[in-house]
Amino acid sequence: MAGEALFRGEMAVVRGCVVIKGSRRNSTVLFDPGVTLLPSRNGLHDPLSGKDIPFGQLISGGGGVLRNNGRGWPISDIERFYGVTISAACPKGDIIRLRNFEVLEG
């Protein structure tokens, strides 16, 4: 799995983990460094774009699939390469890298 494509979906917090909601399962999301949870805890702030992205809104961005249905990069490689620790509460079967995201209007 490699490359990046246009991605559309809806972000949510499930069991303390930011995910993209799917029809069959949720995907854990990795973001650019500096993306933070808003003080209200109802969305994210992207310092590169200066935009706030509320949870529950349809969004669009560049997405790269790192794991799909348990296939793809090993979790240890993802954590080492991106310098993250994926919480035990987060889905591990589906992981995407999302960047340059924005809320879709209407």
The pTM (predicted TM-score) of the whole model is 0.87
> How is residue 105 written in tokens?
């209007």
State which residues form the domain around 11: 5-103
Structure confidence at residue 92 (pLDDT): 95
Structure confidence at residue 12 (pLDDT): 94
User: CA angle at residue 3 from 28 to 81, to 5 degrees?
Assistant: 55
Q: Exposure of 34 by Cβ count < 10 A (0-12 exposed, 13-18 middle, 19+ buried)?
A: exposed
- pLDDT of 1 over the 60 cut: no
SS3 of 101, please? Answer: strand
> Which residues have a Cβ under 8 Å from the Cβ of 36 and sit 6 or more positions away?
44, 45, 47
pLDDT digits 0-9 by tens, 20-72: 998 889 999 999 889 999 999 999 999 988 999 999 999 999 989 999 999 99
pLDDT digits 0-9 by tens, 75-89: 999 999 999 999 999
Output the average pLDDT for the chain: 91
- Report the alpha-carbon distance of residue 11 to residue 76 in Å, rounded: 24
Work out how many domains the chain is built from and give that number: 1
Structure confidence at residue 67 (pLDDT): 94
Domain CATH number, residue 28: 2.40.50
Q: Are 6 and 55 in contact (CB under 8 A)?
A: no
